[in-house]
Amino acid sequence: MQHIRLQKLLDFLKNEPNDPFLKYALATEYFSASDHEKALFYFEDLILNHPDYIGTYYHLGKLYEIINRQSEAILVYKKGMDIARKNGDNHAFSELQTVYNSANGLNYEDD
């Protein structure tokens, strides 16, 4: 089933090569399949060509953490927080701040 979804997304992307949603969908499909190289390609393309596509920052940061690129994960989370704040997206900001703090070893727990 996953192969069919991937093929359909790739076919759609041929017709709409600059569609950020399709790139994001492909990146997350490859991420779910543990194809980190292809997921990385699409996530990094989104950051470069569609920097306001806010969902990218969380998932790219997580991927960087998985492939032991911690410092890049932290930078991606920070950039995503900046963009979320600029766009007034408090929910995305909060999620990114949580993973940013965690990546920096700043896990706060309520007493």
10-residue block means of pLDDT along the chain (111 residues)?
83 94 96 96 97 96 97 97 97 97 79 40
* pLDDT of 27: 97
For 77-81, the CB contacts below 8 A with 24+ separation are 77/103, 79/47, 80/54, 80/56, 81/57
* pLDDT of 1: 57
SS3 content of the chain, % helix, strand, coil (to 5): 75, 0, 25
Backbone dihedral angles phi then psi of residue 79, each to the nearest 5 degrees: -65, -40
- Spatial distance between the Cα atoms of 62 and 7, rounded to a whole number of angstroms: 25
* pLDDT of 3: 80
* pLDDT of 109: 57
- Spatial distance between the Cα atoms of 72 and 70, rounded to a whole number of angstroms: 5
* pLDDT of 110: 46
* pLDDT of 69: 97
Domain spanning 2-103, CATH architecture: Alpha Horseshoe (1.25)
Contact criterion met (CB below 8 Å) for 78 and 100: yes
Domain range list for the chain: 2-103
- Spatial distance between the Cα atoms of 62 and 65, rounded to a whole number of angstroms: 5
